[in-house]
Chain A
């Protein structure tokens, strides 16, 4: 017998603890973190830098092992990296010797996926706004365009879950706004589940269905805030009273004011 909602929980994190062992002593990076994410949700995690956000994402992506606790993705206990996850890092990770289109093919080559995935490339290239840039090398692109390629690479193998670690943190404010809209549009069209990390509170409130607020030393989830703003999100929503109230709440939780 299935419990009520476990069927639609895509990520379940239970009592997750992560200790880094280093010569200068152990670092408790995450302590007893529990939360879950439903299929199709857009979840943001905010926190100051050093509070354990990247650690959390790396553990969920299977790239580093947890110390205790458990993570389930689509009901299955996580052991190491798995192909139903796509990751976007803070700085675009592109192979400089590959053109845009060849970079996008990299995950398919490594995962040895078939023709059907290659056929979808043009559609996805168009979706992330890279049409006309297919044969450029990464160094010929701006930071924003490079990050679009990374997003495309994270989506090309059709994962259920997209993990993003401050993907727009290195972009200027205007490009970041632009990319926020683009990401929401991509999310809408692909119906992926997104776990998005940022230290930018406004960005988190603007994007998310729910915001998980993290506090440092040890890294913990202090509170979960449901963002009750209509979709699709528009620029005007930033001017609403509710929007600034969410921001104020989160700033307080983060220890400001």
Chain B
């Protein structure tokens, strides 16, 4: 079962690529409409250097945006979980801001923090932040009342309850938040690069689209896809290592 599924998937992808290649050749589909896999592959190989350099740029911004979101999101989550006043002020404000489409406010980020990395980082942070706050609040507060009762029966201080119960309880919630957040951080960085950058994979996709170098755009997308999956996979792996008690379905 475990070995068979990836094998089936690989065979499926292989067949898909062949069908795609044949379809493009048989129906004479122009390359700017749908490039054949062979053209994408040759772009990938010929421009590997450029692709890797820009991927690294994008990778760093994704991770930085994500980490900023994790740190600040968790701190705010703890604040909201404990403080009634934050719950009725910052929390609704956050929900309201969250309802704005990111592309509508990203231009303001450029005005506020400047063109390039700072505003890209801010877009990524903007998207990745909310899921962490929500996950933190849930994880810190959705606690089995019996566990709290047990802790109180030993006269545990709130600090002990936070350390020994709430933080641990929050871990699975946090990892669910991380998974959403890392995906959104990828989206944020690419959007940011569309708007305010002259490097990065998002920028490559944009310029190659403009210059109708569609095979190269597809090669960039392929790299982006691999990057996003790798990041997501690392979080899943980390989760398995850090939460061995999590019961899997």
Q: Which residues of A contact B (CB under 8 A)?
A: 61-63, 80-83, 85, 87, 89, 91, 93, 95-97, 106-107, 109-111, 137-139, 157
Contacts and interface: CB of A to CB of B under 8 A. Distances in A.
Given A81-B152, A110-B164, A93 B245 contact: no
Main secondary structure of the interface of A (DSSP, over half): loop
12 contacts: A63-B152, A81-B154, A81-B155, A82-B155, A87-B150, A93-B150, A95-B165, A97-B243, A110-B151, A137-B244, A138-B245, A157-B154
Given A91-B146, A97-B171, A138-B245, 5 more contacts: A63-B149, A89-B149, A97-B245, A109-B164, A110-B160
Given A83-B154, A107-B154, A110-B151, A93 B244 contact: no
Interface of B: 144, 146-147, 149-156, 160, 164-165, 168, 171, 243-245, 247
B224 to A, nearest CB: 36
A61 B153 contact: yes
B245 A137 contact: yes
A81 B149 CA distance: 10
A89 to B, nearest CB: 6
Contacts of A107: 154
A139 B248 CA distance: 11
Residue with the highest number of chain A CB atoms closer than 10 Å, among B149, B153, B244: B153
A48 to B, nearest CB: 22
- Leading 4 A-B pairs by shortest Cβ distance: A110-B154, A93-B146, A97-B168, A93-B150
A87 B153 contact: yes
Nearest to A86: B153
Contacts of A95: 147, 164-165, 168
